[in-house]
Structure 1
Amino acid sequence: MLDLAKIAGQIPGISQHMHKEAIASRQRLESAQKLQQQAANRQAKLIQEQTDFRDRLLFAAATPIEPLDRCFEIQPAPYSHSVFATDGSQISPSHHEIAYCYLINIGQIMLHYGQSLHPLLDSVPEVFYKTEDLYVSKQWNIRLEEWMGYRRTVSEAETLAEMACNWVLPPGEHHEIPNLALVDGSLIYWFLDGLPIEARDKILLPILAAGERLRKTNIPMMGYVSASRSTEGLNFLRFQTCEYEHPNCVVNCGDLDDKYPCQKIDGLRDSTFWGNQLQPGQRSPLYRSNLRILDLYEESQRVYFCYVNMGVEIARLEVPAWVVEDQTLFEQSLSIVMTQVQKGYGYPVALAEAHNQAVVRGGDRARFFALLEQQLIRAGLRNVGTSYKEARKRGSIA
């Protein structure tokens, strides 16, 4: 039980710390605004330096492909359009439960506007119980809970492509209604970068295949990142603050253990910076992400991003290269996601509904294991039940 009286004495210290951080953040913001203007005047030269010394940099910086000092208006969405979205949830395995297995539940949503069509709100559960499902990750020293999260990401991507491509006919076969496939979170699967190659391929390749299927059907895909903590865009300004003739980090700063000289605005996030630049309904310039994991993507699938003032938050929107190359498709996708946020009162309604369909609550977990217990008993298994530890934790005599 949490003792709030003991916590109360720590609150003033937290308030003072946050006040100091707010002052420091304002100072960093002012510095970043000056650097942005300076970098905008030398943008082409800085991009060339970034390209020339890419393999000798010690930080990840995105490349702006539009003028740094411009903000762009987002146009209204077309009256008729469709939105597809998926999200996932799971029941984690436990040795204290009736059976050692796990469940992944994928919520799938299809919403149609201006077409007099019924929406799809559904979920697709899958139980993993075979030996190869439960112990395959051990060969790479990956915890099962972690592997389960990776498998869920694959299921979300494949379900999204399957649902959208089965609904939308290939280009040229009928009059195309504008559409958008929405992903909850980033399209950059950076967390796979440190995995062994074989493990990484089992996760990344099916995800990229799902993205390629969307591309061939001409269904634009967009990742919606709420409360982004990325500094990838602002890191480009470090080329402006570099004290050396060339940004050769390996040679100039490779032996430094402390803060690098170019980290003038360290701690400032992209979303905070653009929150002070953008008006509601505006987006930042587009950036090309240069994170290392993207070297494994096909060129058409490489990820670009921008920041958008949704009116309630600054969201990071990510799109594959093939969508960016089609200006009409890109602008159309932006307008649809903006409308989704308005309809969802601050968050895309399709993603919110996909989460609601996917989420597994405590009662769902109990009913799942109760159903499993019944089936095991019918199959003739004896001594079926939870461990004494689990049974004791579910009730209290105190």
Structure 2
Amino acid sequence: MGLDLTTLSQQVRQMSSTTAQGAAANTARISRVVARYSEEAGKEQHWAAAVNLSREAFSWLLARPVEPLDTARDLSEVPSNYALVASDGSQIDLDRHGSAAYYLINIGRVFLRYGEQPLARLSSAPMLYYRDEDLYLGDGINRVAIEGNYLSARRDVDEGVALVALADEFLTDDLPALALQDGTLIRWTLAGAERFVQTHFLQRYLDYLNTMRQRNIPVASYISRPRSPELVGVIRLMFCPDVDVAAGRGAVCAKCSAIDATGMPPCAPCERLVDADVLAAQLREGQRGPLCISMSRINIESYGEHLIHFFYMRIGRELARIEIPRWVAQDPDQVDLVHALVYDQAARGQGYPVALERAHEQAVVRSADRRTFQRMLESSLYRAEAAVGMSAKQESKSFVKG
């Protein structure tokens, strides 16, 4: 039996009612939080210092503003001729019940050139990983499997390496250019990883960023419908009476001294809000908000000269988050170029960058392709007389499907 839609229909109605009530309550909280944020425009250095004092003991994600909080920068002119490369990846995960131990990463690769000599090159690059050194990482003492978050990290690295190859093949110095990725440049999946795992993946990823820096090709990533609360974390500090920059004292959530009689801290209005809630009314179509630095531990401790900055940009009803490394953020011309080209791409893609859409189309492994690959694999293993086979659990599922 599939879904019991009769039972679900009542739950859906309850969900809709609860969502509507929550939206009304959020409106009042957002207004209060936005008002507090607006009051502090012009005091960015003060709040940057407060962030530095608080980040070790603060319980929330934080950003450090590097531009005025009320920044609403208009879109600069889009170059009539420009080029960009983009990549996206998908994967077939390691299946421990399958006929062999492997995983597959497929990278969608896109080159687009606009203007007097338009050109497009779309391709995909699949890679099958099955050797022991592909399946495990070790430091001589510890050994971990490349699966879950670690497999995502490997795919992220492969996407970056693909951009380098595309840049080498197609990008020239005579056109403005951009390298664009989907999702974040911050490798959050490695934040809690063992040190040798972080080093293995991050070094390769930072090498990719360094190559792009040497080529003077700005790198950016695009996050649709972002749910980050890093800028909201700064506003929490604005509500916090424990913060005293002059005295060198930051916020310590675990020892909050101002919890009221209901058990709520002063920063409670910020609860469940995200950065886009705060900046939504500040930005008109095409405008971007202030540049900020993500204060996530992995970014601060591991990225060095590639320290990830971000800004939000209005594209239709959505505020997208754009991330760039420090060497791009410190060059106003490159920031303006990223702003203009990413917006142009989103406009061409009806709200989502067309280059990333095409990269995803190239990367995705469809069900029919997956089945064909599985048959090809099993046939090859059989001809090679490889002593492998499905687990009893997988065989039972295959029998039921049949």
- Structure 1 distance, partners of 2:392, 2:22, is 48
Q: Which residue of 2 aligns with 1:301?
A: 306
Percent identity of paired positions between Structure 1 and Structure 2? 32
Distance 1:141 1:384, change over 3 A: closer
Choose which of 267, 277, 280 in structure 2 pairs with 1:262. 267
1:283 match: secondary structure: coil
1:167 matched to which residue of 2? 170
Secondary structure of 1:9 counterpart: helix
TM-score, scaled relative to structure 2? 0.89
Out of 184, 194, 197, the residue aligned to residue 196 of structure 1 is 194
Name whichever of 54-63 and 133-142 sits farther off: 133-142
CA distance in 2, matches of 1:144, 1:326: 38
Q: How does 1:1-398 map to 2 (within 5 A)?
A: 1-136=2-137, 139-141=142-144, 144-169=147-172, 175-244=173-242, 246=244, 247-250=249-252, 253=255, 260-379=265-384, 381=385, 386=390, 389-394=393-398, 396=400
Moved more, 81-90 or 365-374: 365-374
2:152·2:189 contact (CA, 8 Å) conserved in 1?
A: no
* Cα-to-partner distance string for 1:335-368 (whole Å, 9 max, x where unaligned): 0110100111111011111111011111111111
Matched letter for residue 205 of structure 2: I
Worse-matched range after superposition: 9-18 or 257-266: 257-266
* More off after superposition, 135-144 vs 125-134: 135-144
Rate the CA distance shift 1:67–1:327 in 2: closer, same or farther, 3 A: same
In structure 2, C-alpha distance between the alignment counterparts of 1:235 and 1:107, rounded to whole Å: 35
Deviates further, 215-224 or 61-70: 61-70
How far did 1:285 drift? Answer: 1.2
- With structure 1 as the length reference, what TM-score do the two structures score? 0.90
Report the CA distance between 1:384 and its aligned residue. Answer: 6.8
Task: State the shift of 1:103 in Å.
Answer: 0.8
Shift of 1:163: 1.5
Counterpart residue type for residue 168 of structure 2: C
Larger CA deviation: 97-106 vs 342-351: 97-106
SS in 2 for 1:158: helix
Q: Which amino acid aligns with 1:273?
A: V
Note closer, same or farther for the CA distance 1:384–1:238 as it changes in structure 2 (3 Å cut): closer
RMSD of the TM alignment (CA)?
A: 2.5
Aligned CA distance change for structure 1 residues 395 and 278 (closer, same or farther; 3 Å): farther
1:180-236 deviations in Å (ceiling 9; x for gaps) = 100100111122111110011111110011001000000000010111111101221
Give the SS at the match of 1:176: coil
Q: How many residues align?
A: 392
In structure 2, the CA distance between the partners of 1:259 and 1:165, relative to structure 1 (3 Å rule), is: farther
Distance 2:242 2:375 in 1: 66
Query: Structure 1 pair 53/389, CA: closer, same or farther in 2 (3 Å)?
Result: closer
1:172 paired residue number: none
| Corresponding letter in the other structure for 1:248 | G
CA distance in 2, matches of 1:282, 1:61: 23
Shift of 1:117: 4.5
2: distance between equivalents of 1:311 and 1:145?
34
- SS of corresponding position for 1:59: coil
370-379 or 121-130, which deviates more: 370-379
